[in-house]
A and B are shown apart, each in its own frame.
Chain A
């Protein structure tokens, strides 16, 4: 699984960082998503997928 994050549409709602903190963080400056790992291990795939569905702005996608 590979995650893509588009910071230009991210609104910094933080659903990703709340749902899968090992995979997503938020920038200190403008709160937009920071991808901590592009290809999370299997143990984090479920949480990552949940985060992608919860993201309100469509900033996250899976490849």
Chain B
């Protein structure tokens, strides 16, 4: 009997592949062949997805994981794509716990509130420049990327002027076509850069997160490099793609655009709905069972790899009726776009603050915003592990 393999081709840019959505009728747990021939699982149901991500018997260690896509196979074959020390996303407790605990105090709801005035200032400055330049222009380059990029650089204490290299390298890392050698080289370059930066902070600490960790004295320079790496890459590409793709979604759903622009009370929930509907982490998270686990009647054996399909789980009709539609007024809380369980996004309150400020600032300053090309001409990031738009030509 032949088993399913993962389809990544979308028929419509904002909907997950029909083949994957269609699986829902056959349950929440599906046998699926991974790129190296391993027979693992694909999860498409909301409750099952939460159960897998919260279960202590599932590991996030890359050396246990079978590759989801063929192009990543070279990485897995080598079995040596090293987890940099400090890169706690790919660790299990207690290592994961140790690093995460050192950071959570810096990303609390309250701490993120204190950043709001600065985020608003940055968004306004981007809009000033856009108005001065006049349309058409690329919204990714002028708005969606610079806001989160400048915010995370200032928070961490990474000079924004140095961004060209590490932005290019993080694009290499999230490109699904990247070969092993190329990926390792990019990891090496970002690490070398951050290692140098941390050495400088040890000599001349400033008022920023990385200096604070240096002075805290719990992590050595190599661990700090891994932590900085994770925060810098995760803090950049994610919110940037939410802002780019979210604006595209609003521009192609004019009633939703108007609701987000005209009713301030809609914004907070509208951001959650955009997170749910767009599910930009579109290929994973992936976990491997350390012991046999039963999830919704399916027995997952120790050693089997499980891929959770967030876009489809986030449209589970039992949890989000009518979830195929974007509706900024629907109660969207409880979506899985930031994951679930112990790895649930550390930066989510920062991402929320950025989006809750940036979307209304954009829509109110440029109420007549529109695409400068036809929707079909907007290049989608189907080739990247974080979904979004490569460019978004707009005018007003």
Q: Which residues of A contact B (CB under 8 A)?
A: 11-15, 17-19, 21, 25-32, 50, 53-54, 56-58
Task: Tell me if A26 and B339 are in contact (CB < 8 A).
Answer: no
- Which 4 pairs of residues, A with B, have the shortest CB-CB distance? A31-B104, A12-B104, A56-B344, A26-B108
Q: How far is the CA of A9 from the CA of B106 in the complex (A)?
A: 18
Task: Closest B residue to A54 by CB, please name it.
Answer: B334
B338-365 interface code vs A (CB 8 A; 1 in, 0 out): 1111101110110010000000000000
Task: Tell me if B107 and A19 are in contact (CB < 8 A).
Answer: no
Task: Tell me if A27 and B105 are in contact (CB < 8 A).
Answer: yes
Task: Tell me if B109 and A14 are in contact (CB < 8 A).
Answer: yes
Total contacting residues, chain B, CB less than 8 A? 26
Task: Closest B residue to A24 by CB, please name it.
Answer: B109
Task: Tell me if B54 and A30 are in contact (CB < 8 A).
Answer: no
Contacts of A15 in B (CB 8 A): 344
Given A30-B101, A56-B54, the answer on whether A13 and B344 have CB atoms closer than 8 Å is yes
Q: How far is the CA of A31 from the CA of B209 in the complex (A)?
A: 14
Given A50-B333, A54-B334, the answer on whether A11 and B342 have CB atoms closer than 8 Å is yes
Task: Tell me if A30 and B342 are in contact (CB < 8 A).
Answer: no
Task: Tell me if B341 and A17 are in contact (CB < 8 A).
Answer: no
Contact for A19 among B104, B333, B344, B346, CB less than 8 A? B333
Task: Tell me if A31 and B107 are in contact (CB < 8 A).
Answer: yes
Task: Tell me if B110 and A57 are in contact (CB < 8 A).
Answer: no
Task: Closest A residue to B341 by CB, please name it.
Answer: A56
Contacts of B104 in A (CB 8 A): 11-13, 26, 30-32
Q: Is the interface of A mostly helix, strand, loop or mixed?
A: loop
Closest chain-B Cβ to A61's Cβ sits at a distance in Å of 14
Contacts of B345 in A (CB 8 A): 13
Q: How far is the CA of A54 from the CA of B110 in the complex (A)?
A: 18
Q: Which residues of B contact A (CB under 8 A)?
A: 53-54, 100-110, 333-334, 338-342, 344-346, 348-349, 352
Contacts of A29 in B (CB 8 A): 105
Given A17-B108, A26-B108, A31-B104, the answer on whether A56 and B349 have CB atoms closer than 8 Å is no
Closest chain-B Cβ to A35's Cβ sits at a distance in Å of 15
Task: Tell me if A26 and B334 are in contact (CB < 8 A).
Answer: no
Q: How far is the CA of A54 from the CA of B107 in the complex (A)?
A: 18
Task: Tell me if A31 and B54 are in contact (CB < 8 A).
Answer: no
Given A11-B100, A19-B333, the answer on whether A57 and B342 have CB atoms closer than 8 Å is yes
Closest chain-B Cβ to A27's Cβ sits at a distance in Å of 7
Q: How far is the CA of A19 from the CA of B194 in the complex (A)?
A: 36
Contacts of A14 in B (CB 8 A): 107-109, 348-349
Q: How far is the CA of A58 from the CA of B344 in the complex (A)?
A: 12
Contacts of B101 in A (CB 8 A): 12, 30-32
Task: Closest A residue to B105 by CB, please name it.
Answer: A31
Contacts of B333 in A (CB 8 A): 19, 50, 54
Closest chain-B Cβ to A18's Cβ sits at a distance in Å of 5
Contacts of A31 in B (CB 8 A): 101, 103-108
Closest chain-B Cβ to A9's Cβ sits at a distance in Å of 8
Contacts of B54 in A (CB 8 A): 56-58
Q: How far is the CA of A54 from the CA of B109 in the complex (A)?
A: 15
